Amino acid sequence: MQPTTTSLKLAVVVSVLCLCALAVYLAPLQPSVVALQLTFTPDAFARVLQAWGPEGVQRFRHHLPIDGLLLWSYGAAGYLAVARTRFFEPLKSLLPMHGLALLLPAAAAFDAAENLLHWVLTGAGAGGTPASAAWYLAAGICASLKWAGIAVFAFATVLAWRRR
């Protein structure tokens, strides 16, 4: 087996395991974590945290290290799948392959920025100044860009599969 194939398989396995573990761990949070991710104002963010209560906020904060492993693994898997396999070759005439290869790593970078902002914004004494509203907006934008990158990559994957 080639090292690239092994690396890709490892990244995919780690991604799936982390995603499943986090889905189970975060399932009690209502509204969902995605609801928090797609807030853009301090008030909307605070409403989600209030609904979760202190225990829910702690649960959210405790998931962030594993989410870091998830974002590293899905970023690597996306890059390796495009750059080191032939799966996406049917899309060469439609999309620049270097751009597609960087799509999930870019989504992972936005995910990391979102996680950092959420860590700060869920900490004690977060917010409190008029300028801090920009941090909530930045977190929402980072999450939106992450989800957009993941969605475009998923669409490209389905398209490549259909064209094979």
Cα four-point dihedral sign 126, 49, 149, 27: positive
Structure tokens at 82: 């495009």
Note whether 98 and 131 are within 8 A (CB): no
Task: Evaluate if pTM is beyond 0.85.
Answer: yes
- Contact in structure between 8 and 85 (CB atoms under 8 Å): yes
Q: Give the pLDDT confidence score for residue 2 in this predicted structure.
A: 58
> What pLDDT score does 95 carry?
87
Given a cut of 50, the residues of the chain with pLDDT beneath it are: 1
Q: Evaluate the omega torsion of the peptide bond into residue 31 and state whether it is cis, within 30 degrees of 0.
A: yes
- pLDDT computed for residue 42 by the predictor: 93
The C-alpha atoms of residue 13 and residue 91 are separated, in whole angstroms, by 25
